[in-house]
Amino acid sequence: MPASSVTQTSEAAQRYASALFELAQDKGALAAVYKDFRSFVASVRASKDLTTLLDSPAFGRDVKVKALGELAKKAGYSPIFGSFLGVMATNGRAKDILGAEVAFDQLYANQRGIKRAVVRTAREMSGAERARIESLLARLVGGEVEFSSEVDPSLIGGIQLRIGSRLVDASVAAKLNRMNTAMKGA
């Protein structure tokens, strides 16, 4: 996920996500709810009007409930996910829905044993480079890896890799900074 699309997750959003996850798992609808949630977030990111609806206090709870219910029906979301949207809006938590998706996504990845990684390079990677890195990451973590890539020209060259809280910085910029620090200390 690119840094520009990072969403803050409130404690309330985490609780709602956890409740949805448990319910979807109990009902055998985890994959469907995951798909619906991703589709909903894509719709929000593509629609300024939908973003405004979720975030603005100018729209009352009843308006949000009705609008999200119509959207869920039109999009063909599962009943569990449609009800989830309604409950969040009814409880005045529509602005936390995107944060709940982040928490739900993490729960889903943990349940499936998927590790997430972010790869930053100075230039766009080719398909072969992406495949090679994905293969290396899968061997490194010993399982399935989903990774996103970001381009940061300030790295000059090389790569930065973040898996969870671990960062491996093999960029030219980092090497130059280490050399600069070493020379100042000499």
Domain ranges for the chain: 3-110, 114-185
Interior angle at CA 28, CA 26 and CA 34, nearest 5: 100
**d(C-alpha 54, C-alpha 7), whole Å:** 14
DSSP count for the chain of H helices, then E strands: 8, 4
List all residues 6 or more positions away from 53 whose beta carbon is below 8 Å from its beta carbon.
59, 63, 64, 67, 94
Q: What is the model's pLDDT at position 186?
A: 63
Q: What is the model's pLDDT at position 79?
A: 97
Q: What is the model's pLDDT at position 116?
A: 84
Q: What is the model's pLDDT at position 8?
A: 65
Q: What is the model's pLDDT at position 7?
A: 57
**d(C-alpha 64, C-alpha 92), whole Å:** 9
Phi, psi for 171 (deg, rounded to 5): -90, 155
Specify the CATH class of 3-110 in words: mainly alpha
Q: What is the model's pLDDT at position 1?
A: 36
Buried b (16+ CB within 10 A) or exposed e, 76-100: ebbebbbebbbebbeeebbbbbbbb
CA dihedral (161, 2, 5, 73) positive or negative = negative
Q: What is the model's pLDDT at position 134?
A: 87
Judge contact between 171 and 162, C-beta under 8 A.
no
In the CATH scheme, what is the code of domain 114-185? Answer: 3.40.30
Range list of H helices, 56-123: 61-75, 79-90, 97-112
Q: What is the model's pLDDT at position 165?
A: 75
pLDDT digits (tens, 9 = 90+) for 15-45: 999 999 999 999 999 999 999 999 999 999 9
Q: What is the model's pLDDT at position 123?
A: 94
Judge contact between 36 and 24, C-beta under 8 A.
no
Regions in the chain scoring below 50 on pLDDT: 1-6
CA dihedral (105, 107, 111, 117) positive or negative = positive
